[in-house]
Structures are given as structure tokens and as C-alpha cells.
Chain A
Amino acid sequence: MTKVPAFATCDLPTLPTMLTSKPAISVHGLTKYYGSRLGVEDVSFDVHPGQVMGFLGPNGSGKTTVMRLLVGLLRITRGEARLLGEDVSDPKGKVRRRVGYLPGTLSLYENLTVEQYLSLLADLRGSDCITDALSMCDRLQLSATSPIKGLSKGNKQKVGVVQAFMHSPSVLILDEPTAGLDPIVQREFEEIVRERRQSGAAILLSSHVLSEVEQLASDVVILDHGRLVVQDRIEVLKSRIERRIRFDFPFVPATEAFAGCPGVVHVEHADRSITCTIVGSENRVLERASHVGVESVRTFEPSLDEIFLTATSGEPHD
């Protein structure tokens, strides 16, 4: 198995860098109706080179529809979608040469071996990437000589991952990529995503494993009932939703110590500590705590789960 360096020190592209580059994935007013049934309506977002966009939403919210529209499997009802500046509706689909796609419901040609399947796709892409594909199989502990028919669900998913990444695409559209993967392979997958991000790929990543999205993505788009409900950087979203800060004091603080402090929506007292639930900037609360004589501060960052649930139902986990 190929050893890969840890990416703990891998830097995310800075926001200004991303904003000055042209978006690799560009969706504007994207609308899809299946007959009279709504798929998605008026969805707009951009993903820049070197950016991982988490793509979230409850089942049936329209994530897969958007992804299938982007790779040309579905026809757009209204709006526009571009990959690397080219309209996805182009019938020749040349832009897809630089796109890797992993569908949410994966089905492979069962009568081939892993290597035969990957070789077929490499040829159909016009890409000489079979060596890279095989080394990626090695990395994901997948036997290339195995018939696909006999593979477990997890191993089939690995084949799906390899076929999406093997040609080093500039755009990756990944629909539930880690479904069925064991934790070790999930970690390896995350490393591969970080590598592609570092090399400048734009990645749209749909997942129900929110911790995974939180680790990999800098931004999220959340869909609900076919409509975009949230789009922003994760850190900005976190600052916008309610979160808690606990202040410990060397004495029993006054109960009204944080009364009227901007951003504080709830205060809990417990002996020598006060826990504030805040929205927005923490600066004023920290300033007030400092004046009161705080000894230590502990923040409870909201998880992506809380952002997700707040966005889709208004009821965060507690």
C-alpha cells in the first residue's frame, strides 16, 4: 500500500484567492421540474478551484438532482449550470473529460473485473490513467483483479471512488462518497479529497456524515424541499447560530453580570460559573467577562449538525 503524507498541515485556499479565481462550478437560478413535480428551484452557488463545498440537505431535498443536472444526466428546466466555464447542456459533453462523478446510487458492470472496468472507463474518457487508477486501488486496499460481481458494497464503493478520482479531474461531484466505506478507508478517502483540493480541484461533496463535511469543506450549501436555504462559510454559519460559552470565576459572580450584554440570549448560573448562550460576535461577551474578573473561558462550538438542523427545521439538537 502506498504511504501518503498526513495532511494535517494542508492549508485551505484563502478566501480572497478563491474569490479572484473563476468558479469551476457555477449554478445560477437552476430549476428542475419532473413533469409538474418540483426537483429544485432557483438554486444558485459557485464552487471555486481549491474549494470543497459541502452539499447538505435532508433526503429528497434535491441534492442528487443538482448533481445529476451538473453532469448532464438530467435536462435543466430553467437557469444555468456551468462547469469550468462551459455549459453543462453541451450535447458533446467535452467538459466532462475534466470532471469526476460518483453517483449516490452506484451500479457497476458486474461482468468485469475491477481493472477491466477502470480500464474501460479510462479509455472512454480518452485518458491514460489506468496506472494511477491501480495505485489508487492499492491505496484503498482494493484488489484490481477481483470480479466486480463478487465485491462487497464497501468494495464496490471503492471502485466508484477510484473511477471518480483516477483521471485527476478539475471538478469532482461526489454524492454520498463514503457510504459503505469502513472508517480506515474513510480516512484515506478524506486524505485523497484533501490532496485534490490542494491541487486546485473544485469539489462538491454531498454527505450525511456531517463531521466528514465539517472536516473537509470550507463552505456549505444546504437545500430543503428543493430550495437553497443556507449558503456560506461554515465558520460564518457557526457564528450566526446560538452557541454557548462558559465562564468560570474565582468567586460567585453576580447574577446580573451579563444582563443587557449584546448577543446574549440566555444566561445560566451554577455556583462559580456562568454559561451564556450567544448569537453573533463573542467580543462583547468576552469583554464583559473580562471586566467581571473571569478566570477561564470554555466555548462550545456548534456542530454542523446544529447548523443543518437549524437550517432545515429550525430545531437544533440540544
Chain B
Amino acid sequence: MIDRLLLKSLRDRRRGLIGWITGIVGLVIVQMAVYPTVRDSASDWGQATESFPEVMKDMFRITDYTSETGYLTTELLSFMVPFIFMGLGASWGSRLVAEDEEARTADILFALPLSRTSILLTRAATGILALLVSALTFVVSLVIGARILDMSIPNGHFANAGLMVFEVGLVAFGVAMAISTITGHRGVGIGVSMGFTIALFIIYSLAPLVDLFNAVGAWNPMQWTLGSDPLVEGLHIDTLVYVMLWLAVCTVASMKRLDRRDIAG
């Protein structure tokens, strides 16, 4: 029964997913294509990055820009790809139920012999699966690019990077799911989710400079996810546990509210 809803939801996400994946792969290709130039003029780049203000280097966690890990971390993992996954998470998380309500297709869907919880969880599984596929594509494109450029970064570290952006996506996904399911409005879900996660990102980025932000870092999901150096360090399972707890809280809040409120129509 419910697997048909999963397949239908995946089918509906198909075009959007292909578009996002194309964008991610394109970004990786462009950034990795530039790396040989950076590597071949390492001393010039080294001097250039040395001249950056310390504040900027702290904010963007710039260490050794010309190394393989330093370059990929700065160009892909410090800002660009996490923001793409925030957008993906917010977009897909906000569609779970509110999209049907706004399109008025919810009247027939929710009058079927399915519990609201099962509909929500099935749709959530679809969104999480789409995020996972996007993260895997990111990892695969990094691995292929690294092979072509003869980089020495282990595949497992690229998997860490994929896990990191997947977790960032989940944080935004959870907020978008909760807000859109509680309010019944997709736009509110996207807006609040993006605003909230960007605010968390800013707090995380300014943590080295602002004592208060540094003090609350342990409670900041962006610190959990982006706070490690995935291309250098091993897998941080604890961050995945935190993010899963975050997602569980958002899911329970969504289920509770959805079960009690009226379906818009």
C-alpha cells in the first residue's frame, strides 16, 4: 500500500533531484578543474592566503589553501555545498504535507485508509532518500575528480564529507518539515528553515570571534555538522547521533501537530 506513495513521491521529486544533482556535480567539476592551477602555483597562493585578515581565515576555517584537503574544504565544504544541502533540505522538508494541502490534493489523500503519521513518515523517507542520493552523488563526483587529479585523499574521507553535507541537509529538512507540517504552509516552512539554518551557520562561523557564540557552540547543529574537518579526520558518529536526535524531535513535533490539526482544503 504505502510503498506506492513512496514511489509516487520519488517520481514527483525525480526532475528536481536530477537538477540539483547536476548542479552539485557541475560545481565539483568546476572547482576541481581549478585545483591544478592552485597546486602549480602554491607559493603564490600561499602568500595570498597568508595576507588574508585573520578574522576571515577564522570565519572560513582557511588553513592551508593549496593542499588538496585545504583547497577542497575551503572551496566546497566551508560554504558552497553545505548551503546547497540547506536549500535541498528546506525545499524537500517543506513539501511533505503542505504541498498537498496547498494544491488541495490532500482531501482525497488524507481521506484514504492511511494514518496521517504513515503519510508523513513515507513522505519524510522520500525526502531523506533524495538527500542521501544527492550526498552520494557528491561523494562519487569527489572520488572520480580526485582519481583524475591523482589526489591522495582516501575515499573514506570523501565519504565523511558526504556525511557532513547530508547531516546539514537533515538539519534544514527537520526544521522545514516541522514548520510546514505545523502551519500547513510550504512557503513558511522554506522561509523559516532557511532563515534559521543560515542564522545557525552565521553563529557557527563567528564562534571563533564571539565568545557567546563559541560558548553555545555545543548546542549549534552547524557546529555538530560543520565543526569537524571531514577530509582530514575520521568519521564522527556522535554528530550523526545528534542530527538524528534533532530529526527525531522535529518528526515527533510534526506528527503530534499533524494528528491534531485540520487538513486544509
Contacts and interface: CB of A to CB of B under 8 A. Distances in A.
Interface residues of A, number: 31
Nearest to B116: A91
Given A73-B263, A75-B261, A124-B112, 15 more contacts: A68-B107, A72-B110, A73-B110, A73-B262, A75-B260, A96-B113, A101-B107, A103-B108, A105-B104, A107-B107, A108-B105, A123-B1, A124-B4, A124-B109, A126-B1
Contacts of B103: 107
B118 to A, nearest CB: 9
A68 B260 contact: no
Contacts of B152: none
Nearest to A91: B115
A109 interface: yes
B10 to A, nearest CB: 13
A111 interface: yes
Interface residues of B, number: 28
A148 B114 CA distance: 24
19 contacts: A68-B107, A68-B263, A68-B265, A73-B111, A73-B262, A73-B263, A73-B265, A74-B263, A91-B116, A94-B113, A97-B113, A103-B104, A107-B108, A108-B108, A120-B4, A120-B8, A121-B112, A125-B113, A126-B113
Given A95-B113, A126-B113, A105 B107 contact: yes
A73 B8 contact: no
Interface in A112-169: 120-121, 123-126, 160, 163
A71 interface: yes
Interface in A234-271: none
Interface string A76-118: 0000000000000001111111010101011111010000000
B72 interface: no
Contacts of A96: 111-113
Interface in B198-228: none
Q: Which of A74, A105, A124, A160 has the most CB of B within 10 A?
A: A124
Nearest to A68: B265
A125 B103 CA distance: 21
B44 interface: no
Contacts of A93: 112-115
A74 B262 CA distance: 4
A45 B169 CA distance: 50
Given A92-B115, A121-B112, A126-B113, A73 B1 contact: no
B259 interface: yes
B12 interface: yes
B262 to A, nearest CB: 5
Nearest to B102: A107
Closest 9 CB pairs of A and B: A107-B104, A103-B107, A97-B113, A71-B111, A96-B113, A123-B4, A101-B111, A73-B263, A74-B262
Contacts of A71: 110-111
B113 A121 contact: no
A96 B116 CA distance: 13
B5 interface: yes
A125 B112 contact: yes
Nearest to A122: B4
Contacts of B105: 107-109
B34 to A, nearest CB: 39
B81 to A, nearest CB: 30
A99 B4 contact: no
B115 to A, nearest CB: 5
A105 B110 contact: no
B137 interface: no
A104 to B, nearest CB: 9
A126 B112 CA distance: 10
Contacts of A126: 1, 113
B262 A75 contact: yes
B2 interface: yes
B70 to A, nearest CB: 45
A88 B1 CA distance: 21
Interface in A287-313: none
A95 B114 CA distance: 10
A245 B167 CA distance: 80
A99 B111 CA distance: 9
Given A91-B116, A111-B12, A124-B5, A105 B108 contact: no
B117 interface: yes
Contacts of B12: 111
B99 to A, nearest CB: 11
Contacts of B104: 103, 105-107
A109 B99 CA distance: 12
A109 B112 CA distance: 15
Contacts of A99: 111
